[in-house]
Amino acid sequence: MNHETRPLTVLDLIAMKTAGRRIVMLTCYDAAFARLLEQADVDVLLVGDSLNQVLAGRETTLSATLDQMIYHAASVRRGARRSLVFVDLPFLTYQISVPEAIRNAGRVLQESGAQGVKLEGGRPMAETVRALVDRGIPVIGHLGLTPQSVHALGGYRVQGRDDGSAARLIADAKALEEAGACAIVLELLPAPLAKAISEAIAIPTIGIGAGVGCDGQVLVLHDMLGLNEGFNPKFLKRYAELGEAVRHAVRGYASEVRAGKYPGPEHSFE
């Protein structure tokens, strides 16, 4: 367990890869969970646009808004003081133009207190990544299955299965590194390809459905805690079954309320 109290920085991510220490990342959307995850020594809290699905019940991430992301990022930041906080830039907040990407990413850091942003795409986004980094905004890239392009990709499918697409993904990773990205999320890639990408670049890779060869791993918090019970992809390991724990607790509460057992004398004021 890491007992350091010094806040982590983006330079620590590079140092962790150099030292062979795996990076632990989880999604987080509120202050209460942020406190718990930081106490459990999670290195990076990702305020993912997955909140559009997990919290808002939408089918995709596409309708997440910048204001929505900033609100949740500010909540997470208030709960975490040591862990790094990165925020997904939502769909169409960075793809239209570089000036708009700078403006929107700047708002995220200014209004939430987060340390950086994450955006999807390879070589076509390299200019944007460079512009953000040159203005002091740390960027994590995202390659492979990019959820904001789910319709173009034909659904949530493993990417990079053929030699041509694998070569393009390696080139994309190198382009993001050259543009100044501090890390890259690799989602739904064959494990050997993700390992090859990780070995080809000096910045850390963080995998989700990309095998153990990455420099770190990320999962959606509600998935790994068993709160999103209908979601069962091959790469997901549940470390708790909190869905059933919540139902059990609420049934106990409801039973005692209906039976007049709660509140008891010990919960009442004279």
| Stretch 9-33: mean pLDDT | 98
Share the mean pLDDT of the chain. 96
- Domains in the chain and their CATH numbers? 10-239 (3.20.20.60), 242-270 (no CATH)
The angle at the Cα of 158, spanning 156 to 159, to the nearest 5 degrees, equals 110
Kindly tell me if the per-residue pLDDT of 2 is higher than 90. no
DSSP annotation string for the chain: -----SPP-HHHHHHHHHHTPPEEEEE--SHHHHHHHHHTT-SEEEE-TTHHHHTT--SSSTT--HHHHHHHHHHHHHH-SSSEEEEEPPTTSSSS-HHHHHHHHHHHHHHH--SEEE--BSGGGHHHHHHHHHTT--EEEEEES-GGGHHHHTSS-----SHHHHHHHHHHHHHHHHHT-SEEEEES--HHHHHHHHHH-SS-EEEESS-TTSSEEEE-HHHHTT-STT---TT---S--HHHHHHHHHHHHHHHHHHT-SS-GGGS--
Residue 131, pLDDT score:
98
Q: What is the model's pLDDT at position 5?
A: 77
- For the chain, what percent of residues have pLDDT higher than 70? 99
Q: Which of 38, 127, 187, 241 is labelled catalytic?
A: 187
How do residues 29-47 score in pLDDT, each as one tens digit?
999 999 999 999 999 999 9
pLDDT given at position 1: 43
Residues 191-245 have pLDDT tens digits of 999 999 999 999 999 999 999 999 999 999 999 999 999 899 999 999 999 999 9
pLDDT at 217: 98
Contact status, residue 117 vs residue 87, Cβ threshold 8 Å: yes
What is the gyration radius of the CA atoms in the chain, in angstroms? 20
Residue keyed to tokens 């995202």: 142
Instruction: Determine the average pLDDT of the residues in 246-269.
Output: 97
The C-alpha angle 107, 116, 222, rounded to 5 degrees, equals 100
Q: What is the DSSP string of 233-265?
A: -TT---S--HHHHHHHHHHHHHHHHHHT-SS-G
pLDDT higher than 50, residue 3: no
Q: What was the pLDDT predicted at 4?
A: 58
Is 187 catalytic? The answer is yes
What is the average per-residue pLDDT within 121-137? 98
Least confident of 91-100, 115-124, 144-153: 144-153
Q: What is the pLDDT of residues 44-64, one digit of tens each?
A: 999 999 999 999 999 999 999
Residue 246 has pLDDT above 50, yes or no: yes
pLDDT tens digits for range 101-113: 999 999 999 999 9
